[in-house]
Structure 1
Amino acid sequence: MSLLNNMLWYLDLRTVLLCVVVLLVLRWFLGRPKNLPPGPWGFPLIGSVPAIIREVRRGVEPHDLFMRYAAKFGPVFRLQILNKTVVVLNDYTSVKEAFQHPQLNDRPKLLFTKLFRSEGVGMASGEKWIELRRFCLTVLRSFGVGKTSFEEKIGTEAEELMKEMSAFNGKPFDPKPLLSNAVSNVICSVIFGKRYEYADGEFKNLLSMLGENVKLFGSGGAMLFFPALRYLPFMSTDKLESNMEAIRLFLTRIIDNHRAIFDLDNLDDFIDAYLMELKAGAKHVHLTEHSFTGTVGNLFGAGTETTGTTLQWALLYMAVYPEIQQRVQAEIDAVVGRNRLPRMADKPELNFTRAVIWEVQRMTIIAPLGVAHAAASDTQFHGFVIPKGALLVPNLWAVAHDPKVWSDPNKFQPERFLNDKGEAVQAEELIPFSVGRRSCIGEHLAKMELFIFFSFFLHQFTFKKPDDSPPLTLKGRGGFTNSPRVFNICAAKRD
């Protein structure tokens, strides 16, 4: 009798499970809105996850796979990732229109918020995001960020970095840690009120963890936007979580130190400005303790990783294309001379130099899939329905390599940004900082940093491949950002 009862119980359990699966599958097929964008077929419940994982394991980057889908389904297509509808935007027009739409500017729930225990300006939505972003921009401007007056602070850091490069006496070195430290020091001076020496072991370790996290978030930052992926058996997140906790504790300690010596009459940096708002009370409803660490973390991470990585690519391209490097140096010498360093005032005359920077940005697109938006409500877009909660992913790589916009898009050709008079003209389709209401909050700072650091470097050094090293590769390394593979370079001092 006991055996019979066990068999009946087992059969009942199987029946219940079968019914649950059937109901979920029916909900999958019947519960979706009509008139969604077209897209590839996906499995019930897990959608396109197996197909994407298969291609990534073959070495195909998500942005390249999405370009392949776009060729078949059009520039606006849909994927199903687990229980989420994902709309991928693959040309300039669709990205620009979507990201200027007021109902398509929310953020999805991101893993960063959960691990950091704080929702910063980059992760917030709605009124909270509007208030936090406005506050951040106001404070950054008050400390000179983006203004010509900030040039001296960047230039001073660039000179410190060049001293470090000179110390190698033309011998090979890995530029990544030095560039990361230098660029990070610029944003640290604004948000922390201090810079860190290049030999500071704790800070070097922090920057290393930040760079490691970019890889651990997975190709295209998949785990960042789909936190549930971290529960898959082949996804290892222990290191990611420990790194995030270490970074959070570092920032929390800095905030607490500021809190302990806070002086209302002596506001030195962004943290002081935020503390003042907290003490002011209800003036800003959404400037809370819960948003504090996350917002500082957003500014720190964004101000460190992307610009530092772009400068790595710039040095690598100069070593691979020495004739382009020589043209940049010749232009800088003709405009600036050899007796002083370049200045922002020289920028209008350094046409080829600017064209090279833009072409490096176009070729490498540091965040190939940008940062996803989410639909705040069901929204009509390009004749389709974007359902509430759907993710919108901008394929910025596709925008920057669209053959309809860029002739021979895979060729490094700075001249594409020069007009018939040799003047630098930036194409509106070049959007490495994204576009619309949620474009990169540090765009103006990053542009100034790129120009000052790059022009200083080329004025003072010639960058070469080490004699005994294998050929340098321009193939990137997958992750949330597109970074170069580890390489060494030689910086030969110019006369």
Structure 2
Amino acid sequence: MMMSFSTDPISLLVLFLIIILVWITVKHYRAPCKNFPPGPWGLPIIGSFIYFGKHAPYKDMMRLSKQYGDVYSLKMGSRIVVVVSGTDAIKECLVQKGNDFADRPYLWVIDQMNPKYDGIVHGHFDDKWQRRRQFAHTTLRGFGFGKTEMESKVAEEILFLLDEFRNIQGKPVNTDSVINRSVSNVICSVAFGKRFDYSDPILGFMIDIMGKWFESSRKMLELDVLPFLRPFNKQLIDNFSTFANEVKKFCMQQIDEHREAFDENNIGDFIDAYLAEATKEHSKEDFTDNHLAQTLVDLFSAGTETTATTLRWGLLFMVLHPKIQQLVFNEIDQVVGPNRLPRLADRTYLPYTEATLCEIQRLGSITPIILPHAALVDSTLGGYDIPKGTEISIILWSMHLDPHAWPNPDEFDPNRFYDQKTNALKKNENFMPFSAGRRVCMGEQLAKHELFLYFSAMINQFKFSLPVGTKKPSTDGVFGLTLVPRPYQVVIEERNI
């Protein structure tokens, strides 16, 4: 018996659309090469989003890695992304073959805030970018970035924060705002040569804008891979661009102020050093105001967000684990005493405090997915072929919450990093809070110094507890560009000195 097909126009149109959809799917989702990493199949248009929940894509990616391996591929909308998880694969990608995977992909979401890919964070890996990054790194170190010379600036800012804590102690408060302002002032002193009063509306406005910018990033990343949703999210897109432009405008104003008072014989901060470099003949083309402004955005946003968020996680874990908070205080009190604040020279003698900071960074894991990389050349990863230009998504969360590397990984336990027998800090190869390789966080050393000085000073001077009768706050973070704690309140009490 012969099969019969309907020839009415609607049926033919549906058949035609199905054929087109299948053709588009095969065209977009066909593996770029024979030995390409395997991965789950995706639906037309939306790709592998059917495997994702609403709140924690890094957990979904980790779950898929258990089925497809530490190096696998995902259909992200209309493009294919290689996902890298697990210590060995991540180290191969970032360290052993760091140059091969040091580029950045071209992304729609970046086009909305930095269309020329200026600056350090989003810049493509070429000779000009390497020269600008090297200049930034050398210049920042010259101003004490990551050195003990920076300690005095951080210590000064900590004194302002402690005074603010004294003013708000004794009642339930949210410390997010004051911590953000304090940490922001450290990078402002290096980049702009000045600090802002906590009540300064300009600083408050910029930190608020930056917070909204980071918060909106999660939805923007979805729109990046699902372009058909963009017409329905015009307000979000406009707001995201406005937030980014406001931060850049603020940095441009700082550049203009510095140019008016510029003296090549008096280089006082990063902007001065950049303006001086831009006057050199071999630097005029590469060292533009746009590059400088975007570099300042990178420094201002990253230098504030990551450290402040880690400290917020730190206070959360301390109020949830008062016994550990007491152990940290006891160690600091025994080594430092009540008459001064901890110094960097004390770090060696405060291994449990250091271990607690490491555990805060591990469990908080504020960058569960680092900014995407791209293959600069044809290469291999995990035994698979990775063509040039392939987008790479690296899941640091997989290192920090892997149950094989960390027994009971969801529990907060500083002893993971503390050797009780030798009273010393223990290292762990599965711990990489600042990433690694050619794109490693440029402010890693400064951040480590800041975290130690801030955290130890706060615990040395104050006791932090949950308000009586309140429900314990959640440790499930909110994922935007970083993983931040949900809002919570603490009661601050000055210790009896």
Q: Confirm or deny a common fold (TM above 0.5).
A: yes
Q: Distance in 2 between matches of 1:227 and 1:186?
A: 38
1:7-406 equivalence runs, <5 A: 21=21, 23-28=23-28, 30=30, 32-52=32-52, 55-56=53-54, 59=55, 61-100=56-95, 101=97, 102-110=99-107, 111-112=109-110, 114-118=112-116, 119-125=118-124, 126-218=126-218, 222-223=221-222, 226=225, 228=227, 231=230, 233=232, 236-283=236-283, 286-406=286-406
Cα separation, partners in 2 of 1:18 and 1:451, compared to 1, 3 Å: same
Q: Distance in 2 between matches of 1:358 and 1:29?
A: 40
**Counterpart residue number, 1:475:** 476
Counterpart check, 1:427 vs 2:425: no
Q: Distance in 2 between matches of 1:117 and 1:25?
A: 28
Q: Which amino acid aligns with 1:63?
A: Y
Q: Distance in 2 between matches of 1:391 and 1:116?
A: 18
Q: Distance in 2 between matches of 1:228 and 1:423?
A: 52
Q: Distance in 2 between matches of 1:225 and 1:438?
A: 22
Counterpart check, 1:445 vs 2:446: yes
1:144 alignment partner, SS class: coil
Where do 4+ consecutive residues of structure 1 move more than 4 Å?
9-23, 223-230
Q: Is the 8 A contact 2:78 2:225 kept in 1?
A: no
Q: Which amino acid aligns with 1:430?
A: F
Q: Which amino acid aligns with 1:389?
A: G
Shift of 1:233: 2.8
Shift of 1:16: 8.8
Q: Distance in 1 between matches of 2:149 and 2:199?
A: 28
Q: Which amino acid aligns with 1:452?
A: L
Q: Distance in 1 between matches of 2:228 and 2:336?
A: 52
**Counterpart residue number, 1:3:** none
1:170 alignment partner, SS class: coil
Cα separation, partners in 2 of 1:29 and 1:394, compared to 1, 3 Å: closer
Q: Which amino acid aligns with 1:107?
A: R
Q: Distance in 2 between matches of 1:298 and 1:229?
A: 30
2:487 alignment partner, SS class: coil
Shift of 1:43: 2.1
In the TM superposition, what whole-angstrom CA distance separates every residue of 1:332-371 from its partner, at most 9, and x where no partner exists?
A: 0110111111111111010100000000100011111011
Shift of 1:120: 1.1
Q: Which amino acid aligns with 1:80?
A: K
1:451 alignment partner, SS class: helix
Shift of 1:51: 3.7
Q: Distance in 2 between matches of 1:229 and 1:379?
A: 32
Q: Distance in 2 between matches of 1:73 and 1:85?
A: 15
Shift of 1:283: 3.9
Shift of 1:267: 1.1
In the TM superposition, what whole-angstrom CA distance separates every residue of 1:83-141 from its partner, at most 9, and x where no partner exists?
A: 32211111111111101211111011243454245511111122232112101110101
Cα separation, partners in 2 of 1:198 and 1:290, compared to 1, 3 Å: closer
Q: Distance in 1 between matches of 2:104 and 2:84?
A: 16
1:38 alignment partner, SS class: coil
Shift of 1:250: 1.2
Shift of 1:415: 0.6
2:88 alignment partner, SS class: helix
Shift of 1:279: 1.3
Give TM-score, length-normalised by structure 1.
Answer: 0.91
Identity of aligned residues (%): 36
Q: Which amino acid aligns with 1:245?
A: N
Q: Is the 8 A contact 1:225 1:372 kept in 2?
A: no
Shift of 1:422: 2.1
Q: Distance in 2 between matches of 1:347 and 1:139?
A: 26
Q: Distance in 2 between matches of 1:333 and 1:38?
A: 54
> Which stretch of the first structure deviates more once superposed, 228-237 or 361-370?
228-237
Q: Is the 8 A contact 1:107 1:372 kept in 2?
A: yes
In the TM superposition, what whole-angstrom CA distance separates every residue of 1:258-300 from its partner, at most 9, and x where no partner exists?
A: 1222111111111111111111131475323332211111111
Cα separation, partners in 2 of 1:251 and 1:117, compared to 1, 3 Å: farther
In the TM superposition, what whole-angstrom CA distance separates every residue of 1:317-343 from its partner, at most 9, and x where no partner exists?
A: 111100000000000011011111111
**Counterpart residue number, 2:490:** 489
| Aligned alpha-carbon RMSD (Å) | 2.4
2:104 alignment partner, SS class: coil
Q: Distance in 1 between matches of 2:381 and 2:105?
A: 19
Q: Distance in 2 between matches of 1:297 and 1:264?
A: 23
In the TM superposition, what whole-angstrom CA distance separates every residue of 1:187-237 from its partner, at most 9, and x where no partner exists?
A: 010011111111011211210111122111117x73597594772635732
Q: Which amino acid aligns with 2:33?
A: P
Q: Distance in 2 between matches of 1:250 and 1:88?
A: 36
Cα separation, partners in 2 of 1:45 and 1:438, compared to 1, 3 Å: same
1:410-421 equivalence runs, <5 A: 410-419=410-419, 420-421=421-422
1:305 alignment partner, SS class: helix
In the TM superposition, what whole-angstrom CA distance separates every residue of 1:420-456 from its partner, at most 9, and x where no partner exists?
A: 3121122132101111121101000000000000000
Q: Distance in 2 between matches of 1:95 and 1:117?
A: 29
Q: Is the 8 A contact 2:29 2:79 kept in 1?
A: no
Q: Is the 8 A contact 2:100 2:379 kept in 1?
A: yes
Q: Distance in 2 between matches of 1:77 and 1:184?
A: 38
Q: Distance in 1 between matches of 2:232 and 2:91?
A: 37
Size of the aligned set, in residue pairs, is 482
Q: Distance in 2 between matches of 1:270 and 1:297?
A: 13
